[in-house]
A and B are shown apart, each in its own frame.
Chain A
């Protein structure tokens, strides 16, 4: 047999074997996709922000259809309209929608704290963080170079006087700033949360803290002692409020000597 014919026969033979294997496998092992998933996906805004806690809108749509217990009101950018649309597709009741927004756990603007050294690198929080936990006097606070501001898709967070501040009306609670912040001082909170700890430092002692920031929590634990509901525990010299137990009595706001625990919204 001429070598050309051998070559053609062998390669074609291998090709045919592969083709048969593939087509048999694709028939035998076909995976059924639930047709409701693309329908739910169409209701979602497609921002892929990840605010719902699932990997993108596709992930959330799949989770809603596959697991009945997944709440359908988690999409913050879509809001009530989206939840209602999904509810119609699946024939499910829409629960109450909790308005959430990002919250910066720091009060360290240039009036109460300052920079401990003259940082000459790239003006980003991530770069500053690499050198001795940043150039702010407090190693836990907002670095104020605006990584969150650049990451925010809705232009809802801005650095003013070296401190990031959130515009709750614009915030869609997507959580991108939470993941971006190298200091991990931003969290997503329901706007109905009664009180919040507006500080993140783990230093202890009034003299130690005021040297770094005059608005910092110095870990005195008065709030945890005075709280009538025992909703506050001290973790690493910083109060942590259990939202399940908190009744919003504002006792902690009144007793905090450093004024670090504040109402989520200013009292009327």
Chain B
């Protein structure tokens, strides 16, 4: 597993397969928490954290428990269960030992426990990188993809919070005020991201 391949996975996850803007997962926090830059940043950091953590746990579960028993079809329910329990656990540990981090992430952690983007990353990792024979290589790739997806979410959130700050001060026609103009600008941002398609293949290919 070369560093170059890991880098390619991360960049692909950030720009080309961006979870919010290309795969349309995690739209709820994308529209709900992107009004202010600070909360968008806090939410995104929590998402990176949870995506990594969820992959750390769900990938071995799929590899060692579900696949061994022929239970691959149970992944959705098992993953949701495990991720929800894990985030609760992490929250308790943070509250006790790192109150500062808990204060800054605290509100956002429970919000994203069973978010579709988090589940989507776990399932995509399992679908794309799992290899029945070996464990290590696929695990590293999955972690890289989870990190990249989180960073992609962060980028989409920060870009969009900037756009929304501008929209707030604009005189939109009454029919477009509020959510409609927000959705339209999200669509334009998403179209802009199609421009990245093919870039990674040409750099690393």
1/0 per residue, CB under 8 A from B, across A18-46: the answer is 11011001100101000000000000000
- Contact partner, A11, options B70, B77, B93, B166, Cβ 8 Å: B77
Query: Are B71 and A10 within 8 A (Cβ)?
Result: yes
Residue of A nearest to B68 (CB): A10
- B81: CB under 8 A from chain A? yes
Query: Are A7 and B169 within 8 A (Cβ)?
Result: no
User: A121 to nearest B CB, angstroms?
Assistant: 6
1/0 per residue, CB under 8 A from A, across B26-69: the answer is 00000000000000000000000000000000000100011001
Of A124-132, A154-162, A194-202, A251-259, the segment with at least 4 beta carbons within 8 Å of chain B is A124-132
- A15: CB under 8 A from chain B? yes
Residues on A with beta carbons closer than 8 Å to the beta carbon of B86: 18
Interface residue tally for chain A (C-beta within 8 Å) = 21
- Contact partner, B92, options A14, A29, A121, Cβ 8 Å: A29
- A6: CB under 8 A from chain B? yes
Q: In which size bucket is the chain B interface?
A: 20 to 34
Residue of A nearest to B169 (CB): A127
- B123: CB under 8 A from chain A? no
Query: Are B89 and A121 within 8 A (Cβ)?
Result: no
- A122: CB under 8 A from chain B? yes
| Chain A residues packing against B (C-beta within 8 Å) | 3, 6-7, 10-11, 14-15, 18-19, 21-22, 25-26, 29, 31, 121-122, 124, 126-127, 130
A-B contact sample (11 more), CB < 8 A, given A31-B95, A130-B169: A7-B71, A7-B74, A10-B71, A10-B74, A18-B81, A22-B85, A22-B89, A121-B169, A122-B169, A122-B171, A124-B169
20 contacts between A and B (CB under 8 A): A6-B69, A6-B70, A6-B71, A7-B69, A7-B74, A10-B66, A11-B77, A11-B78, A11-B81, A14-B61, A14-B81, A14-B82, A18-B85, A31-B95, A31-B96, A121-B170, A122-B169, A127-B169, A127-B171, A130-B169
